[in-house]
Protein backbone atom coordinates (compact mmCIF):
# COMPACT_ATOMS: atom_id res chain seq x y z
CA UNK A 1 0.00 0.00 0.00
CA UNK A 2 1.34 3.39 -1.01
CA UNK A 3 1.34 6.34 1.38
CA UNK A 4 0.17 9.64 -0.06
CA UNK A 5 0.88 12.80 1.93
CA UNK A 6 -0.66 16.18 1.21
CA UNK A 7 1.65 18.86 2.55
CA UNK A 8 0.27 22.28 3.41
CA UNK A 9 -1.19 24.51 6.03
CA UNK A 10 -4.73 23.24 5.66
CA UNK A 11 -5.83 25.80 3.07
CA UNK A 12 -8.66 25.20 0.64
CA UNK A 13 -6.26 23.99 -2.08
CA UNK A 14 -4.78 21.45 0.33
CA UNK A 15 -8.24 20.13 1.17
CA UNK A 16 -9.18 19.93 -2.52
CA UNK A 17 -5.96 18.06 -3.28
CA UNK A 18 -6.67 15.49 -0.55
CA UNK A 19 -10.23 15.01 -1.82
CA UNK A 20 -9.06 14.49 -5.41
CA UNK A 21 -6.58 11.83 -4.27
CA UNK A 22 -9.14 10.04 -2.09
CA UNK A 23 -11.74 10.12 -4.88
CA UNK A 24 -9.29 8.81 -7.51
CA UNK A 25 -8.26 5.94 -5.23
CA UNK A 26 -11.88 5.04 -4.48
CA UNK A 27 -12.84 5.12 -8.16
CA UNK A 28 -9.87 2.90 -9.04
CA UNK A 29 -10.51 0.53 -6.14
CA UNK A 30 -6.97 1.07 -4.86
CA UNK A 31 -6.18 1.06 -1.16
CA UNK A 32 -3.88 3.92 -0.18
CA UNK A 33 -2.92 5.58 3.05
CA UNK A 34 -3.66 9.32 2.89
CA UNK A 35 -2.14 11.74 5.37
CA UNK A 36 -2.44 15.51 5.67
CA UNK A 37 0.76 17.11 6.93
CA UNK A 38 0.53 20.64 8.32
CA UNK A 39 3.75 20.73 10.38
CA UNK A 40 6.00 23.31 8.72
CA UNK A 41 9.21 21.58 9.83
CA UNK A 42 8.10 18.33 8.19
CA UNK A 43 7.00 20.17 5.04
CA UNK A 44 10.37 21.92 4.77
CA UNK A 45 12.08 18.60 5.51
CA UNK A 46 10.77 17.37 2.17
CA UNK A 47 12.31 20.43 0.48
CA UNK A 48 8.89 21.83 -0.39
CA UNK A 49 8.67 25.61 -0.65
CA UNK A 50 5.24 25.88 -2.28
CA UNK A 51 2.06 24.13 -1.16
CA UNK A 52 0.00 22.15 -1.58
CA UNK A 53 2.47 19.41 -2.32
CA UNK A 54 2.01 15.68 -2.75
CA UNK A 55 4.48 13.10 -1.50
CA UNK A 56 4.20 9.41 -2.39
CA UNK A 57 6.32 7.10 -0.25
CA UNK A 58 8.74 9.94 0.65
CA UNK A 59 9.11 11.20 -2.95
CA UNK A 60 7.72 14.64 -3.81
CA UNK A 61 5.68 14.25 -6.99
CA UNK A 62 3.96 17.65 -7.07
CA UNK A 63 4.09 21.07 -5.44
CA UNK A 64 2.69 24.53 -5.89
CA UNK A 65 -1.00 24.03 -6.57
CA UNK A 66 -3.84 21.60 -6.99
CA UNK A 67 -2.68 18.72 -9.22
CA UNK A 68 -4.69 17.79 -12.28
CA UNK A 69 -7.12 14.90 -12.02
CA UNK A 70 -5.21 13.09 -14.77
CA UNK A 71 -1.96 13.30 -12.80
CA UNK A 72 -3.65 12.00 -9.66
CA UNK A 73 -5.23 9.09 -11.52
CA UNK A 74 -1.79 8.18 -12.91
CA UNK A 75 -0.27 8.25 -9.40
CA UNK A 76 -3.04 6.04 -8.06
CA UNK A 77 -2.69 3.65 -10.99
CA UNK A 78 1.04 3.36 -10.27
CA UNK A 79 0.24 2.72 -6.60
CA UNK A 80 -1.81 -0.32 -7.61
CA UNK A 81 1.16 -2.06 -9.22
Q: pLDDT, tens digit, for every residue of 21-65?
A: 999 999 999 999 999 999 999 999 999 999 999 999 999 999 999
- Cβ distance 13 to 65 under 8 Å? yes
The whole-angstrom separation of Cα 16 and Cα 22 is 10
| Residues with catalytic roles | 11, 14
Determine how many CB atoms are found less than 10 A away from the CB of residue 32. 20
CA distance 62 to 60: 6
Instruction: Return the CATH architecture of domain 2-79.
Output: 3-Layer(aba) Sandwich (3.40)
State the pLDDT at residue 37.
97
Residue spans per domain, the chain: 2-79
**Cβ–Cβ < 8 Å for 46, 7:** yes
How far is Cα 56 from Cα 3, in angstroms, rounded to an integer? 6
Given this model, what pLDDT does residue 64 score?
Answer: 96
Amino acid sequence: MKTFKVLGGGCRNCEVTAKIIAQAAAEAGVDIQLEKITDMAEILGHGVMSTPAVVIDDTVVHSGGVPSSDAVRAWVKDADQ
